[in-house]
């Protein structure tokens, strides 16, 4: 059963999923620390390149099936125009100011 973004536990993760699904790059970037990092399938990636390619230029969309670790870990069906749909895991490291300093994703 899908968890609607508005029902996700952590407000920053909730806003992250909403920004992805609404293709709102400005809202997405506002959630990240200036020095934010990310990894895909265990490999660190260039953040700007990755989000443009995997989310914003390819119509990325997340449907969350499960959350854990206080909302900082998600199991989701992620799809975009490049890869189609796949089952993915997401983990978020949120700082004390409520901004994401790192996120990791990969196939689940």
The reported pLDDT for the residue numbered 48 is: 96
pLDDT of residue 87: 97
| Residue reference for tokens 């700007």 | 48
Number of domains forming the structure of the chain:
1
Can you give the pLDDT at residue 56? 97
CATH code (residue 87): 3.10.450.50
Full domain range(s) for residue 59: 5-107
pTM: 0.96
Consecutive 10-residue averages of pLDDT for the chain (108 residues): 94 98 98 98 97 97 98 98 96 97 97
Residue of 53, 68, 63, 70 lying closest to 87 (CA atoms): 63
Rounded Cα gap, residues 10 and 79, in angstroms? 22
Q: Are 5 and 14 a contacting pair, CB within 8 Å? A: yes
């Amino acid at each position: 059963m899908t968890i609607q973004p508005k029902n996700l536990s952590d407000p920053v993760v909730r806003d992250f999923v909403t920004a992805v699904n609404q293709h709102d790059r400005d809202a997405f970037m506002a959630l990240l620390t200036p020095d934010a990092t990310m990894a895909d399938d265990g490999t660190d990636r260039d953040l700007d390149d990755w989000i443009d390619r995997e989310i914003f230029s390819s119509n990325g969309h997340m449907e969350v099936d499960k959350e854990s670790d206080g909302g900082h870990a998600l199991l989701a069906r992620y799809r975009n125009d490049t890869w189609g749909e796949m089952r993915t895991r997401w983990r978020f490291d949120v700082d004390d100011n409520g901004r994401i300093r790192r996120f990791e994703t990969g196939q689940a």
